[in-house]
Amino acid sequence: WSSIVEGITTKEALDRGYLTPVEYYSDPTPGRLVVNTTGAEFTDESLDIWGDNAVERCCNVMRGAEEEWGIKSGIVAVPFIRHAEALKELCDTQGMSTIVVSSQTPAKARREAIRAFKAGEIKWLIQCNIANVGFNSPITDTLIWARPTLSLNLWQQAVGRIMRLSEGKSVARGRDLVGTRETFGR
């Protein structure tokens, strides 16, 4: 800590070449999200309904990202575990390379899934609040954001997952299906 002289902004880190620039694409999925009684987040019920309606769209967006962008590795963030599992099931029927990691994934299976994802053996990591914060996979170049939130911190952390530098990665892409970018910015 004694060697830290000053903090830098994300823009400064980008300008200095410490992070990968992000191209944002936003096309929110319609749905009525209800703010909970604390005013800090959406209700579980409205997140659940929104997530149910977004599963098929997520799969289509993932397939499109593979075809249009030729992605190496992508993270998909959804509201609840059952949305992650439904999305994986749908993607599997279309031959897509996916894995789900959640709080219900046994520790050993989670470690193996994350290892395989980071090694590039699996293209898509579908997750529910497991890889949004503190997850480091530099090869990851795509974020499909289908996790409504009122938390600026959660949004910043999730986007940060794709900004890590990696050989051959000149740009990262964030596809926001919620409208979070419009709420909080890039």
Q: What is the pLDDT of residues 164-180, one digit of tens each?
A: 999 999 999 999 999 99
Asked if the model's pLDDT at residue 76 lies above 60, the reply is yes
Residues 6+ apart with CB under 8 A from 64: none
Other beta carbons within 10 Å of 96? 17
Q: What's the average model confidence in pLDDT over 8-32?
A: 91
Give CA–CA dist 142/22, Å, rounded: 9
Q: What percent of the chain has pLDDT over 70?
A: 98
Residue 14, both tokens: 């980008």
Asked if the model's pLDDT at residue 53 lies above 90, the reply is yes
Asked if the model's pLDDT at residue 1 lies above 70, the reply is no
Q: For residue 113, give the nearest of 163, 87, 75 by alpha carbon.
A: 75
Q: For residue 48, give the nearest of 157, 146, 168, 151 by alpha carbon.
A: 146
Q: What is the pLDDT of residues 127-155, one digit of tens each?
A: 998 898 889 999 999 999 999 999 999 99
